[in-house]
Every structure is written in structure tokens, then in C-alpha cells.
Amino acid sequence: MVFQPPFPPYDPTDKSGFSYETVAKRWPVILTSIVDQLHRENHDLHLRPPIDGSDSAHSEEESLRVEAKITEGKAIIEKVGKLKYEMARDHVMEPIPMDGEAHVDFYNSELENLAKASKDTWFKAPWLYAECYLYRLLRSYFVQTTHWKDYDPFHAQKLDVFAKSGASIYGIAKIMHELESEKGALESDPSTLKVFFQEMIQMCLWGNATDLSLLTHMSLVDIEKLQSVGKEMQAARKEFIMRDDQDKVWEHLTTVKNGRVDFVLDNAGFELFTDLVLADFLVTYTPYVSKVVFHPKLIPWFVSDVTPPDFNETIACLLRPTSLFTTSSSSSSLLPSPEQQQHLRKLAERLRQYVSEGVFAMSVPGGTGLGGGLTTTAPTTAITTTTTTTMVKTTTAATTHSLAEFWTAPVPYWDIETYDRELWELLRGSDLVVFKGDLNYRKLTGDIKWPSWTSFEEALGPLAGSFPLLSLRTNKADVAVGLDKEVLVQIEEKDANWRVNGKFALISFLGKEG
């Protein structure tokens, strides 16, 4: 029996809610961007020069392959166009086809239940379900083809925004460089360590503001503003943190020795960089953590979520930054200075070393591709590690279960134990599980219309107390819990859009029971 919350979920039947705006306006934009991207890919394929040389059989084969790929690309464009049409007209959501990837039955049986309640259409289904379904359905369009199986339609967008994050990335690398000279002092002074910890937590929190599913047309200036990491900016943003459990997290961490922290990741690019930097800080500068496990998604998800290939690519990009990052929109020279390059190189080398030593590991092998199979180009840093309590399991294309599958299921996190015992046991072995971002928060709380003064613990349902849990979230959806009634009144007066405009944030912590 799974948890039944006492209130209904958010859905777009309430036209004043953010979910209505998402279905009516934001999803169509996202679908259009996929169509545009595929048109560009097909166009490039058309222009691709024929293979030279005497091996005409080979070149014939290659042009047949390209033609077949273009044809499949057109078919996907058609499907996405049809989906957009049906969505706008509130059509019934079709079952996910049996495409050989995870959760088809899970999604479809949930859809049958919704049909019984006449809630199986785009504007009536619970928002959380419909949004997960949307990304899973899109995945099925690609995975059923021969030539587009490994294609991530959001990859170009992710990389583009990452490339525009240079100024903040170099800024953070400088902070980490300066920290190195403080290492001795930090080791002997826990109170200073705590101050730096708070800065790192806030950097990681606001890293969540760069979100492609919300901000589809960001300029370089917008991005720099969002990501600025200076001390003044941090201080100014503090008043926008509506719930701040940083002290509790710190108190908890100081009871741990050589422990393990898990990150249930959110966005790729800049946000992932901030996650890696927080992880680096914990491992390099504190005695509390010696191992970090990162949990990616196996399929393209909510536009910008981290997949295993994104994780590897991020580290690779950081190692050769001049090929990707500019430094500033306002600077006359966009090339990073040798000093900036040196700071980032040092940090990136340390991250790479942590990955190759298994200090940092994904919850899946390093060479995992989209869908969960192993790619042929698996990095040599593929991870199989043991911790004192739990083995991080590896999978191959042939195995049926991956520890990353659950994150793209259409259900809240209340019942991880029921749905994925292995994952739950892995998380039970962690000393702190950090859930990044808005969607993870919605899944932690079920995206339910809880009164906002409901305790965080109550909203977590049966998950509460299973393991020490920290949620770092900038607010981009209506659900919010664990707030004082007084704070709520003040915030409503300050900004009526506080729930959804991404300017406000929550740092919510709950320890382990017993």
C-alpha cells in the first residue's frame, strides 16, 4: 500500500496555478524547440558531403544510412508536432509504446487509473504525472528508431548555456583557489570551516536558478546575473531564502566521520558544476566526507537534467575550458586570463582525480549511455566502488535494473522503499542525501496542495527519517511546505509570485530517525 496524502495534487484545472501556465504556454515552447533542433540536424545531414574515395560500396552504404536517418528524423518531427496539437486541445494521453525501456507498464497503469477518474487528458491529469509522462513519451519517439536512439534533443541547449557560464565558473574556481591557501587554518578552526560551508551551500542552491525548462531564451547577461557568486550577491540573496536549515545540516555533518554524501542531481552544466564544487569542498576540506555518489537520470529529462553522458562531458569541458567558456559579456577580451585558466585547471584536475579514484562516483557505471546501456566509448573512469556499508552496483546493457531508473518514474519519492528496494537501501547507507532543485522537491512532497505551514517531515510521508535528507531548491512551482505562518504573510506582501518565479529558495533538512 503506497502513501495516500490528505490533499489533492496540483493540476491545470486551476487556471490561476503555475501548472496551467506550464501546459498552456511552456510545454508548447519546449516541443517547438525539439522540432527546430531536429530540423537543424536533418538539414546538416542533407548538407553532409559524400564520402570520398574508391570504396564506392562504403559510400553507398553511408548515404543510405544518412537517408534513413533523415527519414526517421522527419517521422519524429511529425510525432512531436502531433503531440503539440493534441496537447493544446486537451486530448487523451495515449499509452507509452512498449519501447524496451523502463517503466512502460508503470506509466500506462497509472494512465488507466486516471482514465477511470476521467483525468487522463493534458489539462486534467495531475501536473507531476503529466510532466513525467511527457518526457518519457518523448524518449519513446527516439528509442524506437534505429538512428536516433542515443540522441538527446536538449543536448545542444545544455551545452550552449554551459558555454555561457564562463564568468561564474572562473569566479568559483578563483574562490576554490583562494581556499587552498586557507587549508591549514580551516583544519584547525571549525567555525571558519562552517562559514565556508555556508557559502558553498548557497552557491550550490543558487546554481539551481539556471534552468532551461523555465528560461528558454536567456541572454549571456541574464545568465551572468543569475549565476553571480560574489559575496555581496550571496548576502543580498540571503533574505530570499524562506527556510534556512543550514545550521542543522552543519550540526549533522559534524557528527559524521569519513562519510558518504549522495547528490540526487538536477540540471546539467552550471548547476552540476556547483554540485561538484560543493562535493569537492566536503571531501577536500572537511573530515566528515570521503565519498560522494551522484545520481543522474537515464533519459533526457525536464530539458536540462543531468544524464550520465552529461556528467562525463561536464568534467571533460572543465578540463579544456578555453574551447568552451568565454569569461564575460562585458569584457572586451572574452578569452580567460592565464591565471583564470590555471585556477580552473587545478580544480578540474582534482575533480577528475576524484572521479578516477572512485571518490566521486555516479550511481551507474561511468560509460552508461542514454537508456542505461553501456556505450562503447565508456570512459576508463567507469565506477565500481564499495563503501563501508553499501556496494554501488554496476549494470550492463544486458541487466534489467539500474539504480538510476527510479528517478524517471512518474511517482513521488514517498515510497522509494516499495518501488525500488535496492535504491532505498543504497540511500539508507548515505550520511546525507542532497536533493537538488525544484522537481526533486515536488517529488519529495508529492506536488500536493499542502498548506504551506505543513511540516517538511509530514510532507515527506513515509520517506521521512529514512536517511538524512537535504533539499536545496529555488522555487519554481506552487508547492511549498515547512514555512512559518508569519513568514508566509510577509512573503505574500513582498512578492505574490514567490512560489514560482525562481527568486526565492528553501533549504530544508531532516535527519534520520532513531
Under the rule (CB under 6 A), what is the footprint of ligand F6P?
Answer: 22, 131, 208, 211, 213-214, 266-267, 302, 437-439, 442, 476-477
Closest approach of ligand F6P to the CB of residue 475, in Å? 8
CA distances (Å), 118 to each of 14, 20, 24, 145, in order? 16, 18, 19, 32
User: Residue written as cell 566536503?
Assistant: 282
Kindly tell me the sign of the dihedral angle through the C-alpha atoms of 324, 325, 330, 332. negative
Cα of 109 vs its chain's centroid, Å: 26
Which whole-number Å values give the CA distances from 152 to 101, 140, 310, in the listed order? 15, 12, 10
Nearest to ligand F6P of 308, 366 (CB atom): 308
- For residue 83, the SS3 value is helix
Q: Which three cell numbers stand for residue 244?
A: 534556512
Would residue 244 be called left, alpha or beta, if left means φ above 0 and alpha means ψ between -120 and 50 degrees?
beta
| Nearest CA among 132, 154, 147 for reference residue 34 | 154
Q: How far is the CB of 278 from ligand F6P (least distance, A)?
A: 16
Give 205 or 277: the residue with its C-beta nearer to ligand F6P: 205
Q: Pick between residue 134 and residue 382 the one whose CB is nearest to ligand F6P.
A: 134
Of 214 and 220, nearer to ligand F6P (C-beta) is 214
Nearer to ligand F6P, 208 or 368 (CB): 208
CB nearer to ligand F6P: give 42 or 267.
267
Give the nearer residue to ligand F6P in terms of CB position, either 11 or 211.
Answer: 211
**Minimal distance in Å, beta carbon 203 to ligand F6P?**
16
Cell, residue 271:
548547476
* 3-state SS assignment for residue 243: strand
Quote the least distance from Cβ 233 to ligand F6P, whole Å: 19
CB of 385 to ligand F6P, least distance (A): 27
Sign of the torsion angle spanned by Cα atoms 27, 30, 32, 35: negative
By DSSP bridging, strand 469-474 and strand 505-510 are: antiparallel
249 three-class SS? helix
* Cβ closest to ligand F6P, residue 374 vs residue 416: 416
Give the shortest CB-479-to-ligand F6P separation in angstroms. 9
With respect to ligand F6P, which residue has the nearer C-beta, 210 or 327?
210
CB of 26 to ligand F6P, least distance (A): 6
One-letter amino acid identity for 116? Answer: K
CB of 410 to ligand F6P, least distance (A): 13
By C-alpha distance, which of 261, 263, 245 is closest to 208? 263
Asked if 154 contacts 35 with a C-beta cutoff of 8 angstroms, the reply is no
Quote the least distance from Cβ 473 to ligand F6P, whole Å. Answer: 7
